[in-house]
Copies of this chain bind each other. A is one copy, B any other.
Amino acid sequence: MRLLDAETALADAPPGHKDELRLWLRLLTCTNLIEAEIRRRLRAEFDTTLPRFDLLAQLERHPGGLTLGEISRRMMVSNGNVTGLAARLEEEGLVERRVSATDRRAQSLRLTAKGRREFARQSSAHEGWVAELLGGLSLPEREALQRLLGRAKASVRSGLQEVGA
């Protein structure tokens, strides 16, 4: 009986969502702080951008090449976005495109030798930056955070499902 009352009371209570909102704002602040710093350093030290770096990272993980469509899905950005990004990277000589032998609509992208060299430098610096920025957390803290963020991710995904994407 008590429990039922508590539940009812909770349902009737004014929407006290401030708590979740504060959590979201802190999550956002934290991510933006790190992301802005990484963008800044990519620019300052390698004269490149995060999207370019991300695209190269995809290709690095798939030495056999990826089609623009696959890249677009993996990076979760629009098709047209990848078109432009690929064009700039190609112009810089970091990637090369080859029309598919079996499907004349498709073309696959892969790193050039220069692209591989360049990404290797960037990637190793990037890893160091992240380690440096998050290095103030102890190992147990990092583990706990990793776990809780996993829980948050699951919560969000189930929130998206409900709406029936």
Residue positions of A touching B, CB distance < 8 A: 1-6, 9, 12-13, 15, 17-24, 26-37, 50-51, 54, 57-58, 61, 73-77, 127-128, 130-137, 139, 141-142, 144-146, 148-160, 162
Contact = CB atoms under 8 A, between A and B. Distances in A.
Nearest to A162: B132
Nearest to A18: B131
Given A22-B146, A24-B34, A141-B151, 16 more contacts: A1-B75, A2-B75, A4-B76, A6-B54, A15-B128, A18-B131, A19-B139, A20-B127, A20-B133, A30-B156, A32-B76, A37-B159, A134-B156, A144-B144, A144-B148, A145-B152
* 3 closest Cβ pairs, A-B complex: A136-B155, A17-B131, A31-B31
A151 to B, nearest CB: 6
* Copies of the protein in its oligomer: 2
Given A5-B74, A17-B131, A54-B2, A136 B148 contact: no
